[in-house]
Amino acid sequence: MPTEPEQLLKNYIRAVAKARARTQRQIETVFDSLGSYNESDLLVFTKRISPLLTAVHVETSAMAKASISKPGLIVAAPEFVEARQAFIPIWRDLARGVQWSDAVATGRGLAGALATEQSTEASRDVMRQVAPSTPHRRVPFGATCNYCIALSTRRYHSFDTAEAASHKNCDCEIRPIEGGDPGALINRETYKAWKEAQKVADGEKPPRYFDAETLEPLTSAAGQTSARRRRSR
């Protein structure tokens, strides 16, 4: 059974996941309402999703501060959202002869991922201010890649060293370690389960994704798609 601080962290992570999912659906609805996905549509899209991304940034920031009992921390909301990154792959793919529906589907996934990007930025902006020079850990959640599961078993000397290990579009939480320095290896049970999962027959590959809470390898398309959507850009 999780200790009280761990349970509070789990509750926070689940609340953040709900906020991200809600915002992602809202952004995808805006994206689906566009007509041609040209430069004019990009301007419309950016204008309509900016309040949504600001809202999830502010909401995540408030939840992160509450989770560590630091309500007075000041975290600035983003003043500008760069949504072009969701449109460039559409234009590139269409120029290469990719079917319209496939090109738009790629852009739609990237558009929805903006919600996670803004939420993760808000959470990390809070944690960066708490105790940046003390040992930190990485806390994955949901469908999580093999790499991030492995990273979650390590202690990092500071917030910056923990964040520097992130891959592009990583959404793992970074949290200070309480109670002193535990040594290089933490979460020994997670490490043991991860090591066991790497033992596969010749010619096979280790699981690419895990459920971060249960440490069960994800073999279903639904689980892997969820993780890819958060990370592919």
Q: Are 102 and 141 in contact (CB under 8 A)?
A: no
Compute the average pLDDT of residues 184-211.
78
All residues at 6 or more sequence positions from 77 whose CB lies less than 8 Å from its CB, including other chains: 54, 57, 58, 61, 122
Q: Cα–Cα distance between 173 and 121 in angstroms, integer?
A: 10
Q: Are 155 and 186 in contact (CB under 8 A)?
A: yes
Q: Which residues pair with 173 in a beta bridge?
A: 139
First to last CA, the chain: 37
More confident residue, 187 or 27: 27
All residues at 6 or more sequence positions from 67 whose CB lies less than 8 Å from its CB, including other chains: 8, 9, 12
Burial of 206 (0-12, 13-18, 19+ CB in 10 A): exposed
Confidence at 223, pLDDT banded by 50, 70, 90: very low
Q: Where are the domains of the chain?
A: 1-130, 131-233
Instruction: Say whether pLDDT at 233 is over 80.
Output: no
Q: Cα–Cα distance between 29 and 27 in angstroms, integer?
A: 5
- Whether the CA torsion 117, 121, 124, 126 is positive or negative: it is negative
Compute the average pLDDT of residues 174-186.
78
Question: What DSSP string describes 150-162?
Answer: HHTTB-BSSHHHH
Confidence at 45, pLDDT banded by 50, 70, 90: very high
Reported pTM:
0.81
